[in-house]
Amino acid sequence: MCGIIGYTGNENPVSFLIKGLKQLEYRGYDSAGIAVFSDNGTHIVRAVGPVRNLEHKVSKLSLQGFSGIGHTRWATHGKVTEGNSHPHQAGRITLVHNGIIENYSELKEQIEQIGRTLKSETDTEVLAHLIDIEVEKGFLLLEAITRVIPKLRGSYAFVVSDPEDPRCLIGVSQGIPLWVGNSNGNMLLSSDSRGLSLFTNEGFVLKSAEIVQCRPGSFQVFDFSGHLTTKNISLTQLSNDSSELVGFEHYMMKEIYEQPLAVLNTKAKLIQSAQLYSLPFKLWDHVQLMGCGSARHAGLVAKHYFEQIVGVTATVDYASEFSDCFNHTQPSTLVILISQSGETADTLSALRAAKNRGLATLSITNRKQSSLSLESDFCLFTEAGCEISVASTKAFTSQVSLLLALAYEWSYQIERVESSFRPQLNPYLSALPEQIAQTLQRDKQIRFIAEKLLSSRSFFFLGRGVLFNVAQECALKLKEISYCFAEAYPAGELKHGPLALIDKDSTVILLTTRGSTGDSVSDPLTHLQQDKMKNTLQEVKSRGAFIWTWGADTPYFRQESHEFPPLPSSHRFTEPILHTVLGQLFAYHLAHLKGAEIDKPRNLAKSVTVE
């Protein structure tokens, strides 16, 4: 949530700041701003909306300086206005901030009591005042910051400058990452490695409760007491994820098409991972899965894998609920935390709650060196590459495929001989990238159907078992980017209430199983599921809804549905991923046809680092 960038070096900071902000824009795009520091003082430019609005304003000025800071905002405290945009200034101090100062109201009162007036509605301005109060007393910037930190509650990262020393930038990290990079003596600070990647491939991330002081060509790291840390800090190679659109109109579509590779790489890296084989599987008989949004949906899908393939019990929680709930977790529980970014505040808080209860924790994340990966006992990485679009696509399917491979390996390690899925499953896991590629060939057909459904008032995704969980993911994707009403229900539940909502303006999407063999009716479970879905189909058909069936390739479903995009024949554990791909394509096309902002849906941000 929010992206921050800082630059001090021997060149003009402006282009570093604007280019860096564009890299970070996926983190928040309500407004953006920069401050440039020179001997002539501080120059601040801010604009509501995306970074291009700021860039336009900046292009009309000829800003020059030694250093600068920039920010792209996802509004939490205060409306989306220029006045609430960062950088914020109080007296001499200018800063940009990511995260939340939880006790800002009481701090604000204290500041106002000493006669200071705040100009914005943000918690950030409080921070600027607190530091300014200390520098006014004569403390150097670093000292002033260490005097303020004990007064703050919450997780935050900020970068601050004092015009008395305009070549120096100080960055602080408390529970929210802040990266430091060196590009030929130009020092950069950024909310993530992506913000640095255009300028350098060397950097490191500050540990929580660390402060960095940067000057051109050098940096020093301090603890929160202001003591220089003696540890050796090495600049590590930053990942070189491509952030080009390479011919796609939007990142979301590019990322949808990257899924065969993401899934292939995830499995390839997983099976080479020493961490996988060192997991003490025999210690655990229960899995508690947690995440937010799509990541939680991946957990819901994986619950079926752990229960059916490994034979352990599994529960799934919203990460945001876990720390407040009373859970019947036993010591033999493995808590699995799923997060693309590895920085989602709710998921981190669930991790910490689990650790406080003495439970073993395994994180599944896409970001090396993320807080989640560093704080959990064990970590396995998806290899989806950088996901820029706010709507999660390749991260989700990579998570599901990793969790499936994990369940497979677990059942193998504990020698669960009764697991009848193992022998059949492996070829399907290997075939998955190719099957995703085949599913992507439905792209044009899905767009054509989306055109027909432009005026539909509501969308109901219905499934049974694991396909209900995929239906939840499809509904989330559609809501998120097309702003249409979309809901998911277990197919059998529809008649217990939601059926009242179905009419001729509704679209009902039936996620049905095709079955493992291609000959869908030969498997009794497939047969049973398909029969029950036939009942659901008739219930909605008689209410006049538009019916769209995914999966089951039988004359019945073909005949009774208005539309019918077939899926490749796959295993019932890999099939959910193929259904998801159809859901992603549909959400994309409907949103595109409606003219919605695909990669940056309103009110959202890619990584939610506030609780």
Positions marked catalytic: 2, 606
Cis peptide before 423 (omega within 30 of 0): no
- Coil, helix or strand at residue 122: coil
Contact between 551 and 567 (Cβ < 8 Å) = yes
- Least Å distance, CB 392 to ligand M6R, is 4
- Coil, helix or strand at residue 417: coil
Residue 1 touches ligand M6R, criterion: CB under 6 A: no
How many Cα neighbours within 13 Å face the side chain of 163?
18
- Coil, helix or strand at residue 85: coil
Binding window for ligand M6R (CB under 6 A); candidates: 8-16, 140-148, 335-343, 538-546: 335-343
**Burial track 429-467 (b if 16+ CB lie within 10 A, e otherwise):** bebbbebbebbbebbeebbebbeebeebebbbbbbbbbb
- Least Å distance, CB 388 to ligand M6R, is 12
Query: Rounded distance, CA 343 to CA 85, Å?
Result: 23
Kind and range of the H or E element at 270? helix 259-271
For β-strands 236-237 and 202-205, DSSP reports them as antiparallel
- Coil, helix or strand at residue 83: coil
Binding window for ligand M6R (CB under 6 A); candidates: 134-142, 165-173, 200-208, 293-301: 293-301
Among 292, 353, 403, 467, binds ligand M6R (CB under 6 A): 292
Query: Rounded distance, CA 175 to CA 9, Å?
Result: 27
**Burial track 278-306 (b if 16+ CB lie within 10 A, e otherwise):** ebebeebebbbbbbbbbbbbbbbbbbbbb
Q: Which residues on adjacent β-strands are paired with residue 489?
A: 462
Residue 370 touches ligand M6R, criterion: CB under 6 A: no
Q: Which one, 4 or 168, has the nearer CB to ligand M6R?
A: 4
Among 107, 391, 406, 453, binds ligand M6R (CB under 6 A): 391
Tokens standing for 14?
């402006």
Task: Show the 3-state SS of 9-76.
Answer: CCCCHHHHHHHHHHHHHHHCCCEEEEEEEECCEEEEEEEECCHHHHHHHHHCCCCCCCEEEEEEECCC
- Least Å distance, CB 251 to ligand M6R, is 12
Other CB atoms closer than 10 Å to residue 485's CB: what's the count? 15
Q: Which one, 572 or 579, has the nearer CB to ligand M6R?
A: 579
Binding window for ligand M6R (CB under 6 A); candidates: 79-87, 196-204, 287-295, 324-332: 287-295
- Least Å distance, CB 391 to ligand M6R, is 4
User: CB neighbours of 524 closer than 8 A, spacing ≥ 6?
Assistant: none
Give how many residues touch ligand M6R by CB under 6 A. Answer: 16
Closest residue to ligand M6R, Cβ-based? 293
Binding window for ligand M6R (CB under 6 A); candidates: 390-398, 406-414, 449-457, 536-544: 390-398
Residue 341 touches ligand M6R, criterion: CB under 6 A: yes
Query: Rounded distance, CA 291 to CA 403, Å?
Result: 13
Binding window for ligand M6R (CB under 6 A); candidates: 252-260, 290-298, 422-430, 571-579: 290-298
For β-strands 333-339 and 360-365, DSSP reports them as parallel
Residue 482 touches ligand M6R, criterion: CB under 6 A: no
Among 174, 266, 347, 482, binds ligand M6R (CB under 6 A): 347
Please list every residue from 32 through 71 that binds ligand M6R, using CB under 6 A: none
Among 295, 302, 316, 351, binds ligand M6R (CB under 6 A): 295
- Least Å distance, CB 475 to ligand M6R, is 11
Query: Rounded distance, CA 306 to CA 302, Å?
Result: 6
- Least Å distance, CB 460 to ligand M6R, is 19
Residue 294 touches ligand M6R, criterion: CB under 6 A: yes
Query: Rounded distance, CA 180 to CA 105, Å?
Result: 31
Determine the length of the chain.
611
Q: Which one, 223 or 321, has the nearer CB to ligand M6R?
A: 321
Please list every residue from 580 through 609 that binds ligand M6R, using CB under 6 A: 607-608
Binding window for ligand M6R (CB under 6 A); candidates: 73-81, 288-296, 326-334, 588-596: 288-296
User: CB neighbours of 301 closer than 8 A, spacing ≥ 6?
Assistant: 400, 403, 466, 469, 470, 576
Residue 344 touches ligand M6R, criterion: CB under 6 A: yes
Residue 191 touches ligand M6R, criterion: CB under 6 A: no
Q: Which one, 94 or 472, has the nearer CB to ligand M6R?
A: 472
Q: Which one, 391 or 585, has the nearer CB to ligand M6R?
A: 391
Residue 339 touches ligand M6R, criterion: CB under 6 A: yes
Q: Which residues on adjacent β-strands are paired with residue 4?
A: 71
Among 530, 490, 484, residue whose Cα is nearest residue 507: 484
Binding window for ligand M6R (CB under 6 A); candidates: 52-60, 198-206, 337-345, 529-537: 337-345
Residue 265 touches ligand M6R, criterion: CB under 6 A: no
Q: Which one, 362 or 390, has the nearer CB to ligand M6R?
A: 390
Among 293, 463, 576, 583, binds ligand M6R (CB under 6 A): 293
Q: Which one, 379 or 425, has the nearer CB to ligand M6R?
A: 379
- Least Å distance, CB 263 to ligand M6R, is 17
Contact between 73 and 83 (Cβ < 8 Å) = no
Residue 390 touches ligand M6R, criterion: CB under 6 A: yes
Backbone angles phi, psi at 346, to 5 degrees: -65, -40
Q: Which one, 266 or 607, has the nearer CB to ligand M6R?
A: 607
- Least Å distance, CB 337 to ligand M6R, is 9
Among 402, 395, 399, 400, residue whose Cα is nearest residue 607: 395
Q: Which one, 449 or 476, has the nearer CB to ligand M6R?
A: 476
Residue 340 touches ligand M6R, criterion: CB under 6 A: yes
Q: Which one, 354 or 545, has the nearer CB to ligand M6R?
A: 354
Residue 392 touches ligand M6R, criterion: CB under 6 A: yes
Per-residue contact string for residues 441-480; x = within reach of ligand M6R by CB under 6 A = -----------------------------------x---x
Query: Which parts of this chain interact with ligand M6R (CB under 6 A)?
Result: 292-295, 339-341, 344, 347, 390-392, 476, 480, 607-608
